[in-house]
Amino acid sequence: MAKALLEEGLTVRHVRTALAAIRRLLPESEAPLAELRVVVRDGEVFIERDSQLCEPSGQLVMELSGKELAEAARASALRGLVRPIVRPENAADRWFDLASVWDGDPAQWERAVDGYQRVTTADPTHAAAWNNLGLLYHRMGRYEDARRHYEVALAADALCAEAAYNLGSLHDDLADPAAAVQWYRRALEVRPDYADAHFNLASTLERRGDLVSARHHWARYAELDPSSRWGEIARAHVVLPMESP
C-alpha cells in the first residue's frame, strides 16, 4: 500500500499519516485503497470516503478546506486574536506541513519562516522545525541565525541527525573544515547510513589531505547510493588514490 501511495506522488510524511488513518478507519479491510482515497491539500492529508472528506483522526471536514483554514489562521493572527482557529493539539503539525511546502520556493521563504516559528511557539521541543528554520536562514546567508537554530534543534533532540549534518555544512561554508568534520561525524554517529553526510565528510577530508579516511566515506556513499550521478562521483574518488603515483 505504501508503494502505491508513493507512486501517486505523496511524500513519505504524507504516506505515514495516510497509512495510520487507513488502519484506524478500516482495520480489517484487505483492499482499503478501493474504499478510501487519500487527498493532500496545501500540505495536509485527508481521507475521502463515500464522497465525504475527513481528517486522519476520522473527524469529518465540514466547513473549511486546508487552504481556507490556513488563511483564516493568518488573518486571525494579524488581528491579534488569541483564540486559535486550528485546534491546539493539531496546530504545530499543520503549520509544519504548510511551512514544508513553502520552504521549497525561495519566493515563499519568509512565509515558511513564519510558519516554522508558529510551530516552535506552539511546541518549543519540535526539533524538525528548529532545524528547518536554521536551514532557511542558512540559505538566506544568515549564518549566525542558522547556527543558533541548528543548535536549538539538537538541544531539543540530540538524535536530530539533520541538524548535526547542517552544522557541518554551515562550517564548510564558513571555511572551518575541522568543525565541519566534527559535525558530519556527529551526524553519522546518530545515523550511520546517512548518505549525504558520508559524501560531504569524504569531500572535506579529501580537501584536508586525509585521503585514507576520505576513501572510506566515498566507498560507503557509493554503496548507499549506487545508481545516481553522485554515486558515480564517489566511485571515481575511491579509485583515485590507487591510481596516484
Both 41 and 96 in one domain: the answer is no
Whether 71 is covered by a domain: the verdict is yes
pLDDT tens per residue across span 158-216: 999 999 999 999 999 999 999 999 999 999 999 999 999 999 999 999 989 999 999 99
**What is the reported pLDDT for 59?**
53
| Same-domain pairing of 5 and 52 | yes
Do both 56 and 6 map to the same domain?
yes
Tell me if 231 is assigned to some domain: no
Q: Residue 72 belongs to what domain range? A: 63-123
Is 201 part of a structural domain of the chain? no
State residue 82's pLDDT score: 30
Percent of the chain at pLDDT > 70 equals: 61
Provide the grid cell at 68: 481556507
| Residues 98 and 81 reside in one and the same domain | yes
pLDDT tens digit sequence for 28-52: 656 555 556 666 655 566 667 666 6
Helix segments in the chain, DSSP class H: 2-7, 12-25, 32-35, 66-78, 88-102, 109-122, 127-139, 143-156, 161-173, 177-190, 195-207, 211-224, 229-243
Average pLDDT, the chain: 77
Question: Is residue 103 located within the same domain as residue 83?
Answer: yes
Report the candidate in 204, 206, 187, 205 with the shortest Cα–Cα distance to residue 195.
187
Is 242 a residue whose pLDDT tops 50?
no
Cα(167)–Cα(149) distance, integer angstroms: 10
The answer on 69 and 56 residing in a single domain is no
**In-domain check, residue 82:** yes
> Could you tell me the strand order of the sheet in which 37-41 lies?
37-41, 44-49, 52-54
Query: 83 lies in a domain?
Result: yes
Predicted confidence (pLDDT) at residue 229 exceeds the cutoff of 60 = yes
Mean pLDDT over 51-74 rounds to: 51
Tell me, what's the pLDDT at 66? 47
What is the tens place of the pLDDT at every residue in 7-18? 555 555 555 666
pLDDT of residue 103: 85
Final residue belonging to a domain, choices 42, 62, 82: 62
Residue 27 is predicted with a pLDDT of: 64
Taking the CB of residue 121, how many other CB atoms lie within 10 A of it? 13
| Residue at which a domain ends, from 123, 146, 168 | 123
| 80 located within any domain | yes
Same structural domain, 36 and 73: no
Nearest to 33 by CA among 42, 21, 43: 21
